[in-house]
Each structure stands twice: as C-alpha cells, then as structure tokens.
Structure 1
Amino acid sequence: MSQELTIVKSANMQEKPQPDQIRFGRNFTDHLFIMDYETGKGWYEPRIVPYEPLMLDPAAMIFHYGQTVFEGLKAYRSGDRILLFRPEKNFERLNRSSERLSIPPIDEEQVMGYLKELIRLEKDWVPSSPGTSLYIRPFIIATEPNLSVTPSKTYKFMILLSPVGPYFSGGLTPVKILVEDKFTRAVKGGTGMAKTAGNYSSAYQAQAKAYSEGNADVLWLDGIEKRYIEEVGSMNIFFKINGEVVTPALNGSILQGITRMSVIELLKEWGIPVTERRISIEELYQIHEDGGLEEAFGTGTAAVISPVGELNWLGKKMVINNHQIGELSQKLYDTITGIQTGNLEDRHQWTVEVK
C-alpha cells in the first residue's frame, strides 16, 4: 500500500562543489530519504528531510552485530534530463541481500518512486562534467536497542546522494591488482553474494597490503582452495583470452553485479564469445605465459569499466596489453557510459528518466 511521502526542505542549502573538487563519496546533498520499520507494523513514515546526523541508541543492533545491507547506483545528467541506469536491478539485489541478513524486504516499486522524488528535489546536485554523476546509496540498518543475538525488530532504510567523479583517480588508466593469497573474502554459504558491510571491512588488511605495494585493489581467490578467481574488492572481473571473454561464474560467494550483467548481455549481442566458469589463478598465469591473455577489466557501478594492466601473484607479474586499455574494454566503457548519459540510443531500455 502506498504511503504519503513527507518532505521537509532544508533551510540551509550548501554551495555545490566545483567540478574539479568532486571526490568520490566526500560530498553529500542537502536532503536524504528515511523510512522506518517495526515488526507488526511494517515500513512506515517515508520522509525526505534535511541531511543531518542520526540519533541512535548505543545498544542499537547495527553497532554490535552488523545487520545491514546497502546498494550503489547512479544518476546521470543528459542535457535537461536525469537518467538512472537499471535501478530496478539494484532494488531487487537489495532485497536479496536483505533476505540473507534476515532484514524485511522493501516494496521495490514504492521505493523507486521515493528515490525519484528525492532526486527531483536535489536535481541541481547532478553534475554535468564528463566522468561525473550523482552516486546513490540506499541502505538499511538494524536499530533495535537489544544485545540478544537475534534479528532486530526495528530498522531504518535511508538513501544518501553524493556527487562523484571517477572512482579510480587515474580514470581509464589500467590499474595494478594484487592477487590475495592469505585472507579470505567470502565462501559459498556465507554472505559474499550479499552487499553487506562486513564483506568490505574484512578486506581492509588485504587492501592495505595491496596499496603499500603500489596496487589499486585486491583480486580475491576462493576461500576453500585459494585457487579459483572470484572478484576484485570493488568490481567483478573479466578476462579476454584468445578472443573469448571469461568471467567467474556466480557461485554463492560472488556479488551479482548489474554492470557485470550488462556487459555479458552486450558481449552476446555483439557476437563475442563469453563464458561464465571457474578459472584458477594457475590457469590464468599459464595463459598469460602462453600469450593468450589479451585484456582484463573490472566492472562495477563506481568505476563502470576499469581496465587492468597488471596482476601481481606470489611475486610474479602478469603485464596485460602492455599496460594499455584494450579495444574491447574501451568499447564496453564507451557503450555503457554512452547509454547512461543518453549520448547513445538505449535499445535495451536500461535507463529510467526522472521526470
């Protein structure tokens, strides 16, 4: 059942950041969306209010047991229009994550309407410079003050908006990735397929090591055998091998990326062989040694397409395409960003206009 949305406008509007001052996830708009949940009552009191700190009980269960899920999507300026890219897929995935974390589902269609209303209010925050967008962060936290190890009976669902530039400072410059051989990100049956906070903070030690050695991120291997490639910390991963594109199959510990899904659909449409399967780091290294590893790239909402120029594994370097962006990576980036910004025809009906 639709509920009336309350809007309280801020009395103190911020100055918008200049295009060259936009950093990823550091600036936030004047308003945010909030909705509450209580067992027996359901989701209630949807509202858009001025951006401000939250008041939470110190015993709120989010602080103690990490019961939370989140999403990430973007709004793009296309002339006078504002476009979202496959937003329904993000809300579907949010509910899948919620199910895994024992969080009550949201009404996806209803929340889509609330999101559009929030963006309409904050439309002047959608940047127009090339490579910029308005990042959208929906998330749910457990708020019941209770130290029992059990699902919370109350929650807050919120949506933050943040104008952003490129996720990686080098833009489309191919990045270096460290193959992690010690720590484990996720295992089948765990929470790897969910977008939940602990999956990310548990990666910090591995990321710190990667950064200290000049890498931009970590490539995770499976948690059982430490052999099979899964995903990069912030992206799904693809390899172009002798003309065929290979990406790790979804196995219960890999996040089902919306950009990943879009890339696979485009490759099939273009007639480029694409396979989802298990691929070991040993196999990939041998393919590289034999000269068959033509390109590697990550996919995700934040970076869209991020070419990989080097993989570092147990002291061995796999330099890919001489540290240059590959032809296919460039075409995928140009196509997806062209659709997202309205510069290319959207034959797939992937974009949703905020009117």
Structure 2
Amino acid sequence: MAEITARKSLSGRNVFTMEIKIEKTKTPKAKPVDETKLGFGHIFTDHMFVMEYDTGKGWHDARIVPYGDISISPAAMVLHYGQEIFEGMKAYRTPDGSIQFFRPEENFKRMNISAERLVIPQLNVDDCLQALHELVKIDADWVPHTDGASLYIRPFIFAADPFLGVRPGDKYYFMIIMSPSGAYYASG
C-alpha cells in the first residue's frame, strides 16, 4: 500500500481523535486499465465518507462506507433552495509511490467560510483532515500512477430537512467522494 504523507493537524496534534466506523465494500469495482483515458468525474472509488449533523447533537456518526446512492426526501431543502456547499481537491502519486495532497486544510477552511455565510454548521478542520486521510488510505489503489492524472476529491455538505420553507436546516450531511481523473480540460 502506498504511503500517505503524514502531517501535523492544525492544532499541532499528531494523532487524530475522531472515531470513524469503517465498512469496506464486499464487491470492489474494477480499476481503470488505461489511466490516460480517465476523463473527469464519471468514475468513482469503492468508498465514501459520511457524517451527519442534527441540531442539539452536532456532527456525529462519522463513517466510511461502500460508495453508493443515498436516499433523501423529495422535500429536502437542498433540492429546493440549493442549501449545499462543496470544495474540490486532488491527491497525487509522487515518483516514489507516496500520495500527497496540496494544502487540504485550506479547502476545509474555505468550506467553513461558505458554511458560515449560508448558516450551515461548521466542521472541525482536523476531523475533516482525518476523514480525508482515512478515506484515501482505504482507496489508495485508486490514486493514478500516470503523470497528469490524480484522484479528484469532492467534499460537500447539504441540508436534508424535508421542509419547503426558507430557514437554516436542522439536518445536514457531510460527505467526501473521490474520482480518479485526468486533466479537467482535454488540453490540460
């Protein structure tokens, strides 16, 4: 398995503390054979990270589960008022085979700025980094070896309350999905 470059958490801790339940897939997908033809955003790894928020309980139930469809109410606030935020980042394989990220903590800080503006509960950045590292470690074989290719990482939060009025939500999901990808634009 590839080494993922270690880093200190923003608080200076070397050890992450969030409990993440892990359920590995029983039916792994075939990985792309030709990494020069990955395209962008249509192939997904075997796993995803999910964490829920409820008013009064806060962020809870952190888990890595097999990638799959999710079920939400047709009245979910995200569908009617677009109460959702996302970021995008990449993991790269280095010549020595290790996996590196480019400043993922900055992506999660930006996510919190957006969350504050939309009155969405903010995330603990160290918890986000832990979730990211654990997820990439589990799906490390999906990080492409080809120059110019990367593992695109999409963290996002959305309001799931079944409510048609306008107000901040009481129930949110924070998820991270990943996609081995070539250059975003065909020309690079």
Same fold per TM (> 0.5)?
yes
Quick one: distance in 1 between partners of 2:169 and 2:36? 42
SS at match of 2:180: strand
- Which of 26, 29, 32 pairs up with 1:11? 26
Instruction: Provide the residue aligned with 1:131 in structure 2.
Output: 148
- Which of 16, 31, 36 pairs up with 1:20? 36
Instruction: Provide the residue aligned with 2:114 in structure 1.
Output: 97
Instruction: Provide the residue aligned with 1:55 in structure 2.
Output: 71
Task: State the shift of 1:170 in Å.
Answer: 1.3
Instruction: Provide the residue aligned with 1:38 in structure 2.
Output: 54
Quick one: distance in 1 between partners of 2:125 and 2:78? 23
Uncovered stretches (5+) of structure 1, i.e. residues with no partner: 172-355
Letter in 1 for 2:37: Q
Task: State the shift of 1:2 in Å.
Answer: 4.1
- Which of 91, 99, 105 pairs up with 1:75? 91
Residues 3 and 45, structure 1, Cα contact 8 Å, conserved in 2 = no
Task: State the shift of 1:80 in Å.
Answer: 2.1
Residues 28 and 163, structure 1, Cα contact 8 Å, conserved in 2 = yes
Quick one: distance in 1 between partners of 2:187 and 2:37? 15
Residues 131 and 165, structure 1, Cα contact 8 Å, conserved in 2 = yes
Residues 50 and 62, structure 2, Cα contact 8 Å, conserved in 1 = yes
Quick one: distance in 1 between partners of 2:127 and 2:65? 18
TM-score scaled to structure 2, two decimals? 0.89
Quick one: distance in 1 between partners of 2:98 and 2:147? 15
Q: Looking at CA atoms only, which structure, 1 or 2, has the larger radius of gyration?
A: 1
How many residues matched? 171
Letter in 2 for 1:73: M
Quick one: distance in 2 between partners of 1:39 and 1:2? 22
Quick one: distance in 1 between partners of 2:83 and 2:36? 36
Structure 1 stretches (4+) deviating beyond 3 angstroms?
Answer: none
Task: State the shift of 1:101 in Å.
Answer: 1.0
Instruction: Provide the residue aligned with 1:289 in structure 2.
Output: none
Identity %: 49
Q: Deviations over 1:129-166 (max 9, x none)?
A: 11000000000010011111101100000000100111
SS at match of 1:110: helix
Residues 10 and 49, structure 1, Cα contact 8 Å, conserved in 2 = yes
1:168 aligns with 2:185: yes
Following superposition of structure 1 onto structure 2, how do residues 135-284 of structure 1 map, counting pairs within 5 Å?
135-171=152-188
TM-score scaled to structure 1, two decimals? 0.47
Quick one: distance in 1 between partners of 2:44 and 2:75? 27
Task: Identify the range of structure 1 (13-22 vs 87-96) with the bigger mean alpha-carbon deviation.
Answer: 13-22
Letter in 1 for 2:148: G
Quick one: distance in 1 between partners of 2:187 and 2:108? 30
Letter in 1 for 2:99: I
Quick one: distance in 1 between partners of 2:137 and 2:18? 18
Residues 36 and 149, structure 2, Cα contact 8 Å, conserved in 1 = no
Quick one: distance in 2 between partners of 1:36 and 1:158? 9
Following superposition of structure 1 onto structure 2, how do residues 324-343 of structure 1 map, counting pairs within 5 Å?
none
Residues 62 and 142, structure 1, Cα contact 8 Å, conserved in 2 = yes
Residues 3 and 44, structure 1, Cα contact 8 Å, conserved in 2 = no
Uncovered stretches (5+) of structure 2, i.e. residues with no partner: 1-15
Quick one: distance in 2 between partners of 1:10 and 1:23? 24
Q: Deviations over 1:157-211 (max 9, x none)?
A: 000010011111012xxxxxxxxxxxxxxxxxxxxxxxxxxxxxxxxxxxxxxxx
SS at match of 1:127: coil
1:64 aligns with 2:83: no
